[in-house]
Structure 1
Amino acid sequence: MTDSTDRFLDRFVIGILFCAALMGAWLFFGPSLWASPEPKESQKETNVDDPAAKVQVKVMIDLAACPKSSPLIVEIINGSEKAIDYTRFQIQARKPNYSTHIFLAQTGFGTDRIIKPNERWVECQEFSALVSDDEFPKLILKAYDVRLGFSENE
């Protein structure tokens, strides 16, 4: 083999090893970069499926109450004795009379709004799904994997 071929093969192998090292670092460190922040010491995170949480998270599309750019109404009712520091959740959407979910959020929804005990909070948020304009307002939505950060100080 010639010198230029040897140099090409050396650089090619080094490039492959460098790419493998980058991928390994990404796999090792990546999850910690996009993971949710840990609750503060003064907070306790609870899943809303816990009956003791006494918190309701409702989601629906309402084009009359919200602007077209943010048609999703999120309503959080805090029936617990503690203040909620943050709420995070995912959304499932399906068409009426169908069981298949046509939308499963990859990024998640939520708020860092502090919701005091026995307080109700409502906000319009952005939401889109790949359905026709006629089908969009009829979608059946459900909040799931709801995570709550309760304040331990109140």
Structure 2
Amino acid sequence: MTTNQPMQKKLTLISDNARGLQTNIGDLIHSYAIPYTPDVIATVETFLNPTIPTNFGHIQGYSGWHRRDHANGTFGGIAVCFREGLAVEALDVDMDRHLELMFFRLWTRQCDTILLCIRYHPKWQGSDPIHFFHTNLDTLLLQHSCKHLVVIGPAPGSKGF
């Protein structure tokens, strides 16, 4: 997905450890999305899987959710959506399937690019996500011509907002 307008002078984000997006979508929308209208809404521990429709939880004024669901079971998972009109491109990054990472490229008004990584790091993954970053970060920045990096997502064991 690429939209056509670069972001304003600042990027606003909301990061949420949803602990079940299906049960907590209302609170996310009414307590955070509507009053703050962030550019990016990123959630982890969505507990979504491929049986949940792709249009679930659409927020007016935002793209549909970009999701990284688990094929088996209802745990973990990432979902992110963007304010309509934001210049963003979802990136297909080659990585082990068990890593809970999603990457996007965003454009600023100054035509700079930002590599945005949404991450969830459950304790059972050990140092795998850190090793992936250490090994691949410079390559990802160069490959996608990004001048800046933003990584968001809760630390292991955090409780959301």
Fold conserved between structures, TM > 0.5: no
Category of TM-score, reference length = shorter chain: under 0.3
TM-score for the superposition, normalised by structure 2: 0.24
- Of Structure 1 and Structure 2, the greater strand share is in 1
